[in-house]
Amino acid sequence: MAARDDVHPARRRPGWAWFAGADEHVLAFVPTERSFLDAQGLVIFAMACVTGFAVAVAGSGWWNVPITHVLWLGAVWTGVICIVDRLIYKSFGTKKLVNIALAIPRALLSIMLALVLGLPMVQFIFSPSISNQLTQTAAAQQKQARTAAASYFEPRITTATAEISAIQNKEVALSTKVDKFTRLSGCERNETSCSHTHKTGCGHWCKYYAAQANAARAELARIRPLDQRRVAALKTKIADWQRSEATETARRVSAIAGDRDLLARAQALSTIEKKHHEVSRYVLFVLALFVCLDLIALAMKLSHLLVTGAVYEEVAQELRERDRLVAHRLRTETEVMRRRITAEAESF
């Protein structure tokens, strides 16, 4: 009975060791490895949660939405990383070169994650300063947008307004001329005090002033319909230009105010780095820290294999060999049965 207990030890639930690629039926033979694998699994899960949070932060920046709306993405990523890490650590064996070959892709994945997800995390850390910089940049860009729109539309509006004023001034001048010569013609006819001949009646000057008034009145009557159409057309253009200027300005200002995506924050962070050089060193530190944290579990695994030996992996390999023996026995039994059936068939 004792020998049977050694072959089939009592089983427990996997616990945190599952995340480190451990199987309970193997741990039952090497209980001394459980504490290390539990610790490694806990580290793997914790780092996966950190990476998942970083993905949520990055998703918030990519889609420019509140982080609470993309927490589901972080949870999904945490699960994916846990599964990937379990597959990688489960593949570790007793050969050092094979283990190193398995560790290299995981290390490269950590570096890639740091480059892709580290920057949004840095932006999340510096979010107050980045928001302030974005506000300053947006204010300057909005001012430039208004100036650009005004520089295009305002000269046209000014020219059209001046043309309307010139048309109106010409009509006013003709109207004034009509009033002036009508008054002078009447004065020549009726008032001896203002008449050139000091006599009443419509003489030479009376007729001259009347002719001038009639000419001005005719000219005014001729150009007034044309001027009215020209003024109406110019006012329509001015109204269109004013609406276009307001629409263009509002569109540009709104686009600038809403430009707070990942690229805009990256540019703001770059501007802050140029103003404060110590920020660049802090960004590099955060990226390096992100890589180191993600590689803690891998470093734990490799150092444990090199220092204490691959005890768990050796047991797992032997158990796989037992499974191969079972498979070999089944293949052999199948071959024996095939030969027997063939021999019986041939005897008939």
Using the 3D structure, point to which of 260, 287, 310 is the last residue of a domain.
Answer: 260
Residue numbers of the domain that contains 245: 153-260
Note whether 10 and 104 are same-domain residues.
yes
The reply to whether the predicted model has a pTM over 0.75 is no
Contact 265, 123 (CB under 8 A): yes
Span 225-263, pLDDT tens digits:
888 899 999 999 999 998 988 888 888 888 877 777 767
What mean pLDDT is predicted for residues 173-182? 85
pLDDT for the residue 192: 62
Report the distance separating Cα 205 and Cα 253, nearest Å.
66
Note whether 314 and 281 are same-domain residues.
yes
Note whether 219 and 290 are same-domain residues.
no
**DSSP for 180-236?**
HHHHHHHHHHH-TTT-SSS--S--HHHHHHHHHHHHHHHHHHHHHHHHHHHHHHHHH
pLDDT for the residue 3: 41
Q: How many domains does the chain have?
A: 2
What mean pLDDT is predicted for residues 173-185? 83
Note whether 217 and 297 are same-domain residues.
no
Note whether 334 and 288 are same-domain residues.
yes
135 in any annotated domain: no
The pair of three-digit structure tokens given for residue 274, joined into one six-digit string: 């140029």
Taking 60 as the threshold, does the pLDDT of residue 88 lie above it? yes
Report the distance separating Cα 11 and Cα 15, nearest Å.
12
Note whether 6 and 112 are same-domain residues.
yes
Span 186-195, pLDDT tens digits:
777 766 666 6
Span 292-328, pLDDT tens digits:
888 899 999 888 888 877 889 889 888 888 889 988 8
144 in any annotated domain: no
267 in any annotated domain: no
pLDDT for the residue 1: 39
The pair of three-digit structure tokens given for residue 87, joined into one six-digit string: 């597959």
Q: Grade residue 4 by pLDDT with cuts at 50, 70 and 90.
A: very low
Span 51-76, pLDDT tens digits:
898 888 888 877 878 888 899 999 99
18 in any annotated domain: yes
Residue 40: other Cβ atoms inside 10 A = 25
Report the distance separating Cα 266 and Cα 262, nearest Å.
6
Note whether 19 and 116 are same-domain residues.
yes
pLDDT for the residue 44: 92
Using the 3D structure, point to which of 197, 230, 260 is the last residue of a domain.
Answer: 260
Span 196-227, pLDDT tens digits:
565 666 767 778 878 888 888 888 888 888 88
